[in-house]
Amino acid sequence: MASLSSRRILYFTGLLLLFFCMETSLAQAGDTIRIGALRLTSSAPIFIAMERGLFKEEGLDVEVKFMKSAQPVAMALAAGDLDVGATGLTAGLYNAMANGLKIRIVADKGRVWPGYKLVGIMVSNDAWEKGVRTLSDLKGKRVGITQIGSTFHYMLGNILTKNNMDLKDVKPTPLGGVKNMLDAVASNRIESSFMVQPFCTTMEKKKIGHLMLWASQEMSYQIAAVFFSEKLAGNTPVALRFLRAYIRACRIYYDNCLRMEGDRLLKGPEFEQVIGYIAKYTDRKPDLIAEGLNYNDRNGELFEEDIQRQIDWYVDHKMIEKRLEATRITHMDLWRKALESLGNGS
């Protein structure tokens, strides 16, 4: 009798556990994460996590809304239309946070990093022929950027400072977008402009511009990040599941596309497959994508100390109205917990 009773207890306990697991599984499957991103190579970990089913493995249904610039992403997060934003760190975004936009920076989405050729300064053919070859040659001349307070504006100011120059020495010229910047240099309407890969290489191959320097030769910079809405940042279980999937995707991207030996890229066994994922979402040819792969930390770790440097620079140049403490707008505890739960493996 005792044996029969024990079997019954185990049976009903098993049923209860099964029911509980089913309930938990169903609850997790119902969690939808809305992501706002741009169709850029820097969004590679998100594309990889989607294509490899990493979000689904964490019980998350993901909806991606593609946008054309950073500002709409921030506005959609503020309005509650997104849970996650993945975009550049600009003065406009910091201003919004200083004025009450409650979003938190949680992970890396792209850096200007030594050895990786992502952003360059291109010189027009006319200017090159007239001797514009170095930064000092740009004194009094126009340098194309997207807009005042943009990531390009920030890079220009920092690169000039490192070379004993100042923004006042050149003419930062807002052109609105990368295509406009490229066209302005190609048509000799501007002496120089910032440009991103693969367009730097394309311009040189087509002989419609000359590379002066790579930004990564001059600085290290957290150019873009992953943001959580206040609601998601406060929902620790779901936030950790998202970050685990994201970190795993960062590792796949890094191990196959970013490992270097000296100046030589070491292609991983899934290099072509990963490039294919990026091509699918960016509408760019795989060979062009391979020319300009964005650097991401292998574990998606934010270059945290750089955030305060950026804020201080924007404040000093009167592009941010109020000084912010970086610790108020980041939430690295979530990332650390997600990393700890994964360990250091693949």
On the question of a common fold for 31-111+222-342 and 119-217, the answer reads: yes
pLDDT of residue 4 exceeding 80 = no
CATH topology for 119-217 is D-Maltodextrin-Binding Protein; domain 2 (3.40.190)
pLDDT in tens, 87-139: 999 998 999 899 888 899 999 999 999 999 889 999 999 999 999 999 999 99
Q: What is the DSSP letter of 295?
A: B
Per 3-state DSSP, what percentage of the chain is helix, strand, and coil (rounded to 5)?
Answer: 50, 20, 30
Does 8 have pLDDT greater than 70? no
Backbone dihedral region of 117: left (phi > 0), alpha (psi from -120 to 50 degrees) or beta? beta
**Taking the C-alpha atoms of 271, 272, 274 and 279 in order, what is their torsion angle to the nearest 10 degrees?**
140
The position carrying tokens 């792209």 is: 110
User: What is the C-alpha to C-alpha distance for residues 93 and 87, in angstroms, rounded to an integer?
Assistant: 10
Q: Are 55 and 248 in contact (CB under 8 A)?
A: no
- Per-residue pLDDT reduced to its tens digit, 195-251: 998 899 999 999 999 999 999 999 999 999 999 999 999 999 999 999 999 999 999
DSSP conformational letter for 260: E
Are residues 47 and 253 in contact, defined by beta-carbon separation less than 8 angstroms? Answer: no
Mean pLDDT for 292-307 is 94
CA distances from 197 to 111, 235, 243, 285 (A): 13, 37, 27, 13
Q: What does the H/E/C string look like for the chain? A: CHHHHHHHHHHHHHHHHHHHHHHHHHHHHCEEEEEEECCCHHHHHHHHHHHCCHHHHCCEEEEEEECCCHHHHHHHHHCCCCCEEEEECCHHHHHHHHCCCCEEEEEEEEEECCCCCCEEEEECHHHHHCCCCCHHHHCCCEEEECCCCCHHHHHHHHHHHHCCCCHHHCEEEECCCHHHHHHHHHCCCCCEEEEECCHHHHHHHCCCCEEEEEHHHCCCEEEEEEEEEHHHHCCHHHHHHHHHHHHHHHHHHHHHHCCEECCEECCCCCHHHHHHHHHHHHCCCHHHHHHCCCECCCCCCCCHHHHHHHHHHHHHCCCCCCCCCHHHHECHHHHHHHHHHHCCCC
pLDDT band, residue 11 (cuts 50/70/90):
very low
The residues spanned by each domain of the chain are 31-111+222-342, 119-217
- Average pLDDT of the residues in 318-330: 92
> Identity (one letter) of the amino acid at 266?
L
Range 31-111+222-342 classified under CATH 3.40.50.2300 = no
State residue 26's pLDDT score. 32
Instruction: Using the predicted structure, report yes or no on whether residue 9 has a pLDDT greater than 60.
Output: no
Of the given ranges (52-66, 78-92, 121-135, 162-176), which has the lowest mean pLDDT? 78-92
Q: What is the pLDDT of residue 345?
A: 65
pLDDT band for position 346 (50/70/90)?
low
Alpha-carbon 172 to chain mean position: 24
The one-letter amino acid at 166: D
What is the average pLDDT score of the chain? Answer: 89
